[in-house]
Amino acid sequence: MGRKAKFDETTVSSGRGRKAKKQGDPTFPKGVLVKEEKELSHRQRQRARKRLLKKQKLNKLEKTKGKKVEDTLTEDNVKNVTKQLKTNKKRKFLKKQLENNNLSHEDDQMQFDSDSNKSDNREVMRNEQKITKKKLLNSDTEDEIDNYDDIEEYEQNEEMDNEEMDQNEDADSSDDDVDNDVDLFPIEKANKKLKKKQEEEQKLAEEEMHDMTLQQSVFTFPTEEELAEVTNLKDVQQRIKDVIMVLSDFKRLRDVNRSRYEYMNLLRGDLCTYYSYNNFLMEKLMQIFPLDELLEFLEASEVQRPMTIRTNTLKTRRRDLAEALINRGVNLDPIGKWTKVGLVIYSSQVPMGATPEYLAGHYILQGASSFLPVMALDPKENEKILDMCAAPGGKSSHIAALIKNTGVIFSNDVNEERIKAVVGNFHRLGIVNSIICTYDGRKLPSVIKSFDRVLLDAPCTGTGVVSKDPSVKTNKDEVDIQRCCTLQKELLLAAIDCANARSESGGIIVYSTCSVLPEENEWVVDHALKKRDVKLIPTGLEFGAEGFTSYRQYRFHPSLKLTKRFYPHVHNMDGFFVAKFKKFSNIVHKNKEEETLN
């Protein structure tokens, strides 16, 4: 806008503008530039006075301690002792006189050696000198006795002074704590209180633990009649805990007349009663797991594993499937970071096996542990892959989804009834690159070979899936385990023979079981390492426990630590075992074949 123009040639006086005004000197609040010294309060003055007194008394004590009084008095040092006695009596007399005069300030008590009091105390000094001279003239013995008495009085006075000093020090330390607390911020005060509380609580907890250990009742071994009359499972459970406690510190808590073998037998019987296992299988589990971990395994095996589904990536994505199921009232979450296709179902308002998404082939019901062998196999596109024991088709369909319906999948299973489920699932999921056959897996090398990758999910006793099939607890015995073990060895050797060592991208064999027994896992793998030109390689799975390289009196190949074990109480999935082989030669040695036939 600007100012209005004046065309009549009159000058307009320009006043002081906003910028032309002179700014005044800056002003600051009190205490910013120069900190004001605050006067000491009455309480602070008292503390300062006490500290001065304390320093003066400490200086006196150091002086008096430097002068040691000799225990024996001779004729030569009688004069020195009399001088010390005179000075002590002089000080006592002056203190009494000062108290009678009611001197107000405490500093006057410390100045009793000043020059102003010397003239008043001359008469007292003369009287004391006369008394001491008379004592010395009377007899040496009397003089010694008096001197000894005076020394004892002096020592008593010293002790009294020391006690007073200790009390003053305690008071001053408490005053110093108060001063420190005054100087601290509120947060620091609260921190101090918290630390004190924590220390007290820790002491109480340690005392309670000590009392508990002292009050622990010694476990008494039950009689045969008590063992025969089992009426309450709670008593059995408590006895299991007691026996495990005794075995954890056997030397201290044991019964002298009982051996460890008897305690182990008692524990095995109680575990069989409580969890409904047969003696054989319980003994095997006790050999595999430590006692504390055994209880966790047995408890986890009693609980059903959460329902899991696998997204069929040939038809949908996991995000879209999750949104569709959430809209149908399904409560779900991803299984974990280790898989991109799995979902865990917590609750559902509709049957998961009858939703439109299921019928359209967007997902399949599959246990989380069944993802692991296919992830270890790591199939590539346009490969020739064999699934030797494929029914009901969960792993084969997973392979087909990973290779995007390219290449060829041979899905084999010896049971013709179970193979029908494979056909149905493949049609629903839209898998078109599979060949389904029903050969005996042990004879497959004579039918077809040269596969890039082979997956063998061998038949087993199912000790890792007790929650799905509780009949395993009582049905399995040593004969069943031996039968499964021999069948697994034959199938694994056949699977290795089916693989092609000269494959550019493959020559991989994955062996897996849903069992936790070493007879079906490490023994079979160790047997294959001895019979064929294969080696173990890392499975590529990020989690899982290492396989056993030693079990009781048996020793396995050191590379078995590359295998993976999965437990229900640790990984919240069915018990499983996964091993991954790399074949480096197609030669089958004759002596090895003869040994297998024999």
Q: How many domains is the chain built from?
A: 4
The per-type count for the chain, helices as H runs and strands as E runs, is 23, 15
CA 169 to CA 172: how far, in whole Å? 5
Q: Give the pLDDT confidence score for residue 80 in this predicted structure.
A: 58
Distance CA 275, CA 472 (A): 12
Residue 334 φ/ψ, nearest 5 degrees: -65, 145
Residue 296 lies in a domain: yes
Specify the residue for token string 């993802």. Answer: 371
End-to-end CA distance of the chain: 113
428 and 409 in one domain?
Answer: yes
**Does 557 share its domain with 426?**
yes
Give the separation between CA 215 and CA 305, rounded to whole angstroms.
40
**Cα–Cα distance, 141 to 135 (Å, whole number):** 10
Q: 563 with 467, same domain?
A: yes
- The DSSP bridge partners found for residue 545 are 565
Q: Is residue 243 part of a domain?
A: yes
Strands 408-412 and 384-387: parallel
Is residue 2 included in any domain, yes or no?
no
Q: Mind listing the pLDDT tens digit of every residue in the chain (598 residues)?
A: 555 555 555 555 555 555 555 666 777 676 666 655 567 788 888 888 888 888 888 888 877 765 544 444 444 454 555 566 666 666 766 666 655 554 444 444 444 444 444 444 455 455 555 554 444 444 444 444 344 344 444 444 444 555 555 555 444 444 445 445 556 777 778 888 888 899 999 888 888 776 666 555 556 777 777 777 776 788 888 888 888 888 888 888 777 788 888 888 889 988 998 998 999 999 999 999 998 899 999 999 998 888 999 999 999 999 999 999 999 999 999 998 999 999 999 999 999 999 999 999 999 999 999 999 999 999 999 999 999 999 899 999 999 999 999 999 999 999 999 999 999 999 999 999 999 999 999 999 999 988 999 999 999 999 999 999 899 998 988 999 999 999 999 999 999 999 998 888 878 999 999 999 999 999 999 999 999 999 999 999 989 999 999 998 889 999 999 999 999 999 989 999 999 999 988 887 765 444 444 4
Q: Residues 6 or more apart from 400 whose CB is under 8 A from it?
A: 314, 409, 426, 429, 431, 433, 434
State whether residue 192 is helix, strand or coil: helix
Contact indicator for 122, 94 with CB cutoff of 8 Å = no
Please check whether residue 289 lies inside any domain of the structure: yes
Question: Could you tell me which of 292, 296, 281 has the C-alpha nearest to residue 519?
Answer: 281
Residues 383 and 513 in one domain: yes
Q: Which residue has the tokens 């038949």?
A: 459
How far apart are the C-alpha atoms of 100 and 201, rounded to whole Å?
53
Would residue 14 count as lying in a domain? no
Binding residues: 389-395, 413, 440, 457
Q: Is residue 266, in this structure, part of any structural domain at all?
A: yes
Q: Is 442 contained in some domain?
A: yes
Q: Tell me the three state secondary structure of residue 554.
A: strand
Count Cα atoms within 13 angstroms, Cβ side, for 488: 28
- Tell me: do 475 and 420 sit in the same domain: yes
**DSSP state letter for 451:** B
* Boundaries of domain holding 265: 232-302
Q: What CA–CA distance (Å, rounded) separates 555 from 266? A: 29
CATH code where residue 346 lies: 3.30.70.1170
User: Are 331 and 282 contained in the same domain?
Assistant: no
Which of 351, 366, 381 is where one domain is finished?
366
- Beta-ladder partners of 100: none
Cα 507 from chain centroid?
42
Binding-site residue set for S-adenosyl-L-methionine: 389-395, 413, 440, 457
Q: How far is CA 6 from CA 10, 13, 498, in A?
A: 7, 12, 110
Three-class HEC string of 128-155: HHHHHHHHHHHCHHHHHHHHHHHHHHHH
Cα 133 to Cα 146: distance, rounded to the nearest angstrom: 13
Boundary residue ending a domain (366, 392, 409):
366
326 shares a domain with 281? no
Same domain, 569 and 474: yes
Q: How far is CA 145 from the centre of its chain?
A: 74
Residue 437, phi then psi, degrees to nearest 5: -140, 165
Coil, strand or helix at 297: helix
Q: Are 340 and 390 in a shared domain?
A: no
Are 351 and 426 within one domain?
no
CB neighbourhood size of 152 (10 A): 10
What is the pLDDT at residue 14? 56
What is d(CA 216, CA 357) in angstroms, rounded to the nearest whole number?
A: 59
The burial of 126, by beta-carbon neighbours within 10 Å (0-12 exposed, 13-18 middle, 19 or more buried), is given as exposed
Both tokens of residue 199? 């220390």
CA distance 579 to 567: 15
Final residue belonging to a domain, choices 285, 302, 319: 302
Active site residue 272: no
- Answering whether pTM is above 0.75, one says no
Q: Are residues 389 and 407 in the same domain?
A: yes
Please give the sequence-ordered ranges of beta strands (E in DSSP) within 51-94, or none if there are none: none
User: 272 and 283 share a domain?
Assistant: yes
CB 398 within 8 A of CB 374: yes
Decide if 520 is inside a domain: yes
Amino acid residing at 269? G
